[in-house]
Structure 1
């Protein structure tokens, strides 16, 4: 079962365990002590007697299953096979969203394929008319005939809440609440409340620009090479494994066309001065769709602005 279907394994809970272990001696701790520190018995009083620490247990189980943590002889530790920067006390927490993207989607992790396909489906929708509530998601997947392939056979508002939490934490979306009767509505995401989610991957791209350009200041890549690197790093984007699985069901993009979500994110990064999109003569153009218009670019340049 994936983190998508394990409602108690929220990003914040997995992050809490990881952050503690980052600072622990040798980055490991006895399971019993870790449980007592992060999920004290007093918090479990009067709750599920069959599982005294259900939230902690679910978060720990998913953290181990995806390879973020390891367990041996009743000790929990950060996986020493992770890149050094991902384990470093000063950088590990900041890099955790990208570490999880790698572990979930770019490591042949079959458990998270349903989450990968669903996020890829979301990013493949028209960002200017994308579903922002579970009710709209259900309606659209039914219209597109992809409910079975996306493993959405069971209707659940909590499923949307889990999806929204993970998309926002990993940097593929952002959420906001609307004001109703002069009161800010902040509630669990249901079909009837006012928490909306926008699938827009600017945060993920911003964090990974330097890596995509291999750390080369003011480097220039063709759009095709940039997309190839992006799809290899995160197969939720154009030409990536999960995106191709989705587009096979909902209809392929036109050749040399970006999805509106990717184009929108790159336009935002250009507006922020992080990249520059250019059109060179005699070079393949990729079409960036917008609101009522399209623009063509052949290359993307990393500007060197601090990200």
Structure 2
């Protein structure tokens, strides 16, 4: 299965399971005890059908496939070493989305390739006019791709929406979803500028594609483009969604976008207005580089 095909595996449920196990001695917890601690008492009733109520049981395999935990002798144990042992729940809440995002996009088994592809497609949309609910997304997929991809039902759309929000690729305004990867780019700034505060935009764009392949030139973005013939961006142009994120970071004072006459130019588009820049400076602290 995959996250998008398993509606029980919500971000909130995976976080709750992970955070609870992380607090246990040896980061290890017996499965039945875990269920009794997390599941509402009504779901523990012997009068209910197990396969209809065992939401935790259906979530566990997805966590195992993500490499977050392992199952051994009816116990679950955390195997991920990215989040330091002893982290409190608030620290887990901050770090876990970044861990899961990497596992989703770089799994050797491509277990969640369907989620990666739909996110890559959604990032090609105009953030100011993007489809923002299941009906609109369904119509846009059929119109643009003649294919619903794996987002083929309201339940699967719900998973796409929940996970794209949790992983930092979208935001919600007045109950409408919109593409906005600002959080993701902000997270990667220390890696993008690890060797210098200032880089040509072309360097940053290609580094970002390797760190997070749903962006321009990344493997997921290329798969969608090659499969469906979408997003015919001109050379040196960024999508409106990626442009929106960088311009937002500039408005927040986190980066500065500049134009140099002797450097290659990238065009960033905000609605109908085009901005031309050649380099990005990250205004991070010295110790962050």
Please list, as runs of the form range in 1=range in 2, the aligned pairs for 1:150-299 lying within 5 A after superposition.
Answer: 150-152=149-151, 154=152, 156-177=153-174, 195-214=175-194, 219-248=197-226, 249=228, 250-299=230-279
1:302 matched to 2:286: no
Please list, as runs of the form range in 1=range in 2, the aligned pairs for 1:17-96 lying within 5 A after superposition.
Answer: 17-39=17-39, 41-45=41-45, 48-51=48-51, 53-80=53-80, 82-83=81-82, 85=83, 89-90=87-88, 91-96=91-96
Return closer, same or farther for 1:276/1:88 CA change in 2, 3 Å cut-off.
Answer: farther
TM-score by length of 2: 0.90
Counterpart in 2 of 1:99? 99
Aligned length: 283
Q: Give the 4+ runs in structure 1 shifted more than 6 A.
A: none
Return closer, same or farther for 1:45/1:74 CA change in 2, 3 Å cut-off.
Answer: closer
Q: CA RMSD in A?
A: 2.2
For structure 2, the residue ranges without an aligned partner over 5 or more in a row are none
- For residues 131 and 40 of structure 1, the distance between their equivalents in structure 2, rounded to whole angstroms, comes to 35
User: In 1, are the aligned partners of 2:43 and 2:54 still within 8 Å (CA)?
Assistant: no
- For residues 47 and 146 of structure 1, the distance between their equivalents in structure 2, rounded to whole angstroms, comes to 45
Deviation at 1:22, TM superposition (A): 2.0
Please list, as runs of the form range in 1=range in 2, the aligned pairs for 1:130-149 lying within 5 A after superposition.
Answer: 130-147=130-147
Deviation at 1:151, TM superposition (A): 3.2
Return closer, same or farther for 1:251/1:172 CA change in 2, 3 Å cut-off.
Answer: closer
User: In 1, are the aligned partners of 2:209 and 2:218 still within 8 Å (CA)?
Assistant: yes
Residue 171 of structure 1 aligns to a residue in which SS? coil
User: In 2, are the aligned partners of 1:120 and 1:237 still within 8 Å (CA)?
Assistant: yes
For structure 1, the residue ranges without an aligned partner over 5 or more in a row are 178-194
User: In 1, are the aligned partners of 2:29 and 2:75 still within 8 Å (CA)?
Assistant: yes
Return closer, same or farther for 1:227/1:88 CA change in 2, 3 Å cut-off.
Answer: farther
Return closer, same or farther for 1:87/1:140 CA change in 2, 3 Å cut-off.
Answer: farther
Deviation at 1:94, TM superposition (A): 1.1
Of 159-168 and 42-51, deviating more is 42-51
Counterpart in 2 of 1:184? none
TM-score by length of 1: 0.85
